[in-house]
Amino acid sequence: MMYNFYVERDSILHRLDPRVKIIASILGIASMILFNSPTMLFLLFVSISLSLAFLGKITFREQLRVLKPLFPLMIITIAIWPFILEPASFGLFIGFGYALRLASMAMITFGLLITTSQRELILGFIKLKMPYEIGLTLTIALRYIPTLFGLAQKITDAQKSRGLELEKGSFLTRLKNTIPILIPLIISAIKTAHELSIALESRAFGANKRRTFLYTIKMKSRDYFALIVVLFLFGLALYLRYQLNIGYIKLY
Amino acid sequence: MIEVRNLWHIYEGRKIALRDVSLAFENEIVALVGPNGSGKTTLAKHLNGLLKPTKGEVIVDGLNTREHSVAELSRIVGYVFQNPENMFFEENVFKEVAFGPKNLGLSEEEIEERVKWVLKQVNLEGYEERHPYGLSGGEKQRLAIACILAMNPKYLILDEPTTGLDEKSAESVKTVIKKLYREGHGILLITHEMELVLELAERVVLLYEGQKLFDGSVGEFFALNLRDYYLDKPEILKISENLNLGFIRSVGDFLTKLEELL
């Protein structure tokens, strides 16, 4: 099961401060919304893919793998636009652009997750003034996915031993058959959460407003440089879109 | 008869959990012991088909576990898991016990009859309307046994049935185990508690790093140097041996022998 995308590699993107990567991702997604011209979206998609490949050492095959689950959605997008816009060829063109927009957004998010470890990612969010509690909640949630998965396995084994057959029957029967697994799982998850909160409190969680960090991050000159590049590129995007009116097609 | 023939189990990631284990048992109480990670649970999961052999075979009353589903095998081998709460999902004890027989496709009268009988077996009569999560530890454990017993299996696998229970609750569970044994069930007891082994088991199988190191009577087992396997003799046995009273099975035994001596 996939619960952690992070792949340890030695690349420029991996070494970058998480804050810069978070800001770049947000601005990147924003510029995807800025433009709707398929040509422009295609250029952006290619540049994202290339920068992930060369700056992040994420191979094209790996990029393809993350896009795969999106294919049905992308195909639907392409197929629907010809019905909305006249003539159909123009609709197809626009639909293609929108599918690329979807793919680009997924790639940006994926790029952030694959080049940043969970710890760094959450630290980055906290340093960007997200409340620590939310950061901790996120960490715990991610940390508990494998635990819950293991528990679900145990419960499944227990119910199978009582004659529960999960593979047989219609879709509805199968759906109904998940109840004996879901209920113990939810009850156990709630109990664990309750115990965890007591354990946290007994370790003085929230006793002091200011926390210290054992491991922390610091912006280096290359991080500032990268941030300036990111801001410049976003500025350029705004300039293209609003001053030169490039990359936007009036649809109606 | 449950027969395990030259069983190997290798988990994904190539961790070898069982190495060439062979074993056969019928109407007896067999204790399966060994330190953490020795392969006890892996072996037990093979007996009702939850795991399929990497190499070797498991034959349950003539049925090869490779060729039959867990649901089919659950009529013959009942597996009571360590944490009883992992299986409770109904709103009352009656429905909880009835879940297994329903899966077997029994009629309503048969189910009602069976639930009644099973609750009597585990001394939970009159608990039909209680909520499973509202029971005490010992009651939950006995309910878990009841849920499995309701499938009317010939063999029972009990994973740590008394762990975490107080004396009285543990006693109530032990009483049920003894009763089921007398009625002809074959019982495989997975446990760390040597007192339980001493009191209940006829035969002990020791697993260590996936290999069967010992298979013999409980008397022979406690003559081994158990510390080598991260296990130890129960205190009462040590006292008895120090007093030259010989091998005893319980505190009652010990007191009788002590009285004879005095």
pLDDT tens string A8-55: 888 888 889 999 999 999 999 999 888 888 888 999 999 999 999 999
C-alpha pair distances (Å), B14 with each of B6, B42, B54: 18, 14, 11
C-alpha pair distances (Å), A60 with each of A1, A26, A111: 22, 22, 12
Which range has the worst mean pLDDT, A215-224, A227-236, B143-152? A215-224
**pLDDT tens-digit map of B130-160:** 999 999 988 999 999 999 999 989 999 999 9
Chain B residues whose beta carbon lies within 8 Å of the beta carbon of residue A161 = 48, 50, 70, 74, 78-79, 81, 148
Instruction: For residue A132, tell me if it sits in a domain.
Output: no
Handedness of CA B103, B106, B108, B109 (dihedral sign): negative
Chain B residues whose beta carbon lies within 8 Å of the beta carbon of residue A157 = 45, 50, 79, 81
Measured between CB atoms, does A194 come within 8 Å of chain B?
no
Across A67-203, where does the E strand assignment appear?
Answer: none
Instruction: Determine whether the interchain pair B103/A187 forms a contact, defined as Cβ–Cβ distance below 8 Å.
Output: no
| pLDDT of amino acid A1 | 39
CA dist B216 and B204 (Å) reads 6
Looking at per-residue pLDDT, the higher value among A207 and A189 belongs to: A189
R_g of chain A computed on alpha carbons: 23
| pLDDT of amino acid A204 | 83
Chain B residues whose beta carbon lies within 8 Å of the beta carbon of residue A184 = 85-89
Into how many domains does chain A fold? 1
A154 → chain B, closest CA residue? B86
Taking phi over 0 as left and psi of -120 to 50 as alpha, with beta for the rest, A104 belongs to: alpha
Instruction: Determine whether the interchain pair A162/B48 forms a contact, defined as Cβ–Cβ distance below 8 Å.
Output: no
A189 → chain B, closest CA residue? B86
CA dist B30 and B47 (Å) reads 14
Instruction: For residue A169, tell me if it sits in a domain.
Output: no
**pLDDT tens-digit map of B60-69:** 999 999 999 9
Phi first, then psi: what are they for B90, rounded to 5°?
-90, 170
B78 → chain A, closest CA residue? A161
High-pLDDT (> 70) share of chain B, %: 100
Residue that is written with structure tokens 């009353």 in the block: B61
High-pLDDT (> 90) share of chain B, %: 60
Q: What is the token pair recorded at A200?
A: 């946290």
Looking at per-residue pLDDT, the higher value among A171 and B128 belongs to: B128
| pLDDT of amino acid B29 | 94
The distance of A141 to chain B (nearest Cα, Å) reads 21
Contact A41, A100 (CB under 8 A): yes
pLDDT (average), residues A170-191: 89
Instruction: For residue A23, tell me if it sits in a domain.
Output: yes
Instruction: For residue A75, tell me if it sits in a domain.
Output: yes
Instruction: Determine whether the interchain pair B81/A157 forms a contact, defined as Cβ–Cβ distance below 8 Å.
Output: yes
pLDDT (average), residues B170-190: 91
Helices (H), A8-87: 12-15, 18-34, 38-55, 60-67, 71-84
**Domain with A22 in it:** 1-116+219-252
Instruction: Return residues 125-164 of A near B (CB < 8 Å).
Output: 151, 154-155, 157-164
Chain A residues whose beta carbon lies within 8 Å of the beta carbon of residue B79 = 157-158, 161
| pLDDT of amino acid B153 | 92
Is pLDDT above 70 for A80? yes
Q: Using CB atoms, which residue from A160, A179, A184 is nearest to B70? A: A160
Measured between CB atoms, does B100 come within 8 Å of chain A?
yes
Is pLDDT above 80 for B124? yes
pLDDT (average), residues A152-173: 88
Looking at per-residue pLDDT, the higher value among B39 and B252 belongs to: B39
Instruction: For residue A190, tell me if it sits in a domain.
Output: no
Angle in degrees, CA B231, B235, B239, rounded to 5: 130
Inter-chain Cβ pairs, chain A and chain B, closer than 8 A: 64
Instruction: Determine whether the interchain pair A160/B50 forms a contact, defined as Cβ–Cβ distance below 8 Å.
Output: yes
Chain mean pLDDT for chain B: 90
CA dist A144 and A112 (Å) reads 21
Instruction: For residue A134, tell me if it sits in a domain.
Output: no
Chain A residues whose beta carbon lies within 8 Å of the beta carbon of residue B104 = 163
pLDDT (average), residues A83-94: 85
**Which residue of B103, B148, B152 is the best one to mutate when testing the A interface, meaning the one whose CB has the most A CBs within 10 A?**
B103
**pLDDT tens-digit map of B93-116:** 999 999 999 988 899 999 999 999
pLDDT (average), residues B219-234: 88
pLDDT (average), residues B194-212: 92
Q: B202, B198, B226: which is closest to B213 by C-alpha?
A: B226
Q: A175, A165, A149: which is closest to B49 by C-alpha?
A: A165
Instruction: Please report the DSSP string for chain B in residue order.
Output: -EEEEEEEEE-TTS-EEEEEEEEEE-SSEEEEE-STTSSHHHHHHHHTTSS--SEEEEEETTEEGGGS-HHHHTTTEEEE-S-GGGG--SSSHHHHHHHHHHHHT--HHHHHHHHHHHHHHTT-TT-TTS-GGGS-HHHHHHHHHHHHHTT--SEEEEESTTTT--HHHHHHHHHHHHHHHHTT-EEEEE-S-HHHHHHH-SEEEEEETTEEEEEEEHHHHTTS-GGGGT----HHHHHHHHTT----SSHHHHHHHHHHH-
Instruction: Determine whether the interchain pair B89/A179 forms a contact, defined as Cβ–Cβ distance below 8 Å.
Output: yes
Residue that is written with structure tokens 């008869």 in the block: B1
Chain A residues whose beta carbon lies within 8 Å of the beta carbon of residue B45 = 157
Instruction: For residue A156, tell me if it sits in a domain.
Output: no
Instruction: For residue A56, tell me if it sits in a domain.
Output: yes
Phi first, then psi: what are they for B68, rounded to 5°?
-130, 150
| pLDDT of amino acid A3 | 57
CA dist A181 and A161 (Å) reads 12
Q: A177, A179, A171, A160: which is closest to B72 by C-alpha?
A: A160
Instruction: Determine whether the interchain pair A162/B74 forms a contact, defined as Cβ–Cβ distance below 8 Å.
Output: yes
Residue that is written with structure tokens 């790093």 in the block: B209
C-alpha pair distances (Å), B192 with each of B34, B35, B43: 7, 8, 15
